[in-house]
Amino acid sequence: MSSIKTTEEFNSRIKQVIITKEQIDEAVRKAGADISAEYEGRPLLLVSILKGAYVFMADLCRAVSIPCEIGFMAAKSYYEGTESSGKVKITLDLSQDISQYHVIIVEDIIDTGRTLNDIIKMLKARNPLSLKVLTLLDKPSRRLVELEADVSLFTIPDLFVIGYGLDCGEIYRNLPYVAEYDEKGE
């Protein structure tokens, strides 16, 4: 349960809007059109990594004008301290046999890249027809593994961001834009 109790406190933690709703809408429309053109006539599966990417996935799949399926995955990472244990536990897996699909992983943000890197390896081992990564936000300055999205809608600096599915303590996912979080709430 969040320690934020009032609307006033909720709003006080939004430091500044980084990416507006209009900018997101335009980028998502373009990404949907690009996907529709590239995958026309091909079996397509959009895979959202929960929870953060659910808002992005909902808007993106509606922007895709060709037949597509969607799937969801959730993972827990066990990276303790400065050493990576390299253990990712899938807590929700896909129901589809992805060997019959062109798969696009729909991610909210790529930060260190460790968990996504492990998910990519798992999915590649399932032999999809092709595999790409589409991320809403990319924070390359934080990367700890060699990983690049095939498509990144926005590159952002090293800020703690909230909104459009991204949270802080399970709060702020409902904001229609991406904002910098202010821990002090000033």
* DSSP per-residue letters across 89-103: EEEE---S-GGGSEE
Contacts of 111 (CB under 8 A, 6+ apart): 139, 142, 143
- The CA distance from 146 to 73, in Å, is 22
Q: Report how far apart the first and last C-alpha atoms of the chain are (Å, whole number).
A: 22
- Which candidate, 109, 117, 94, places its Cα nearest to that of 166? 109
Q: Residue 52 — left, alpha, or beta (φ > 0 → left; ψ -120 to 50 → alpha)?
A: alpha
> Considering 59, 93, 108, 111, which one is annotated as catalytic?
111
Tell me the sheet residues that pair with 83: 80
Q: Report the pLDDT value the prediction gives residue 89, as an integer from 0 to 100.
A: 82
Average of pLDDT values for 173-181?
Answer: 96
User: For this structure, is 59 an active site residue?
Assistant: no
The pTM score is 0.91
Q: Which two tokens stand for residue 121?
A: 């390896």
pLDDT tens-digit readout, 111-157:
989 889 999 999 999 999 999 999 999 999 989 899 999 999 999 99
Domain ranges for the chain, please list them.
Answer: 17-78+85-181
The CATH code of the domain at 17-78+85-181 is 3.40.50.2020
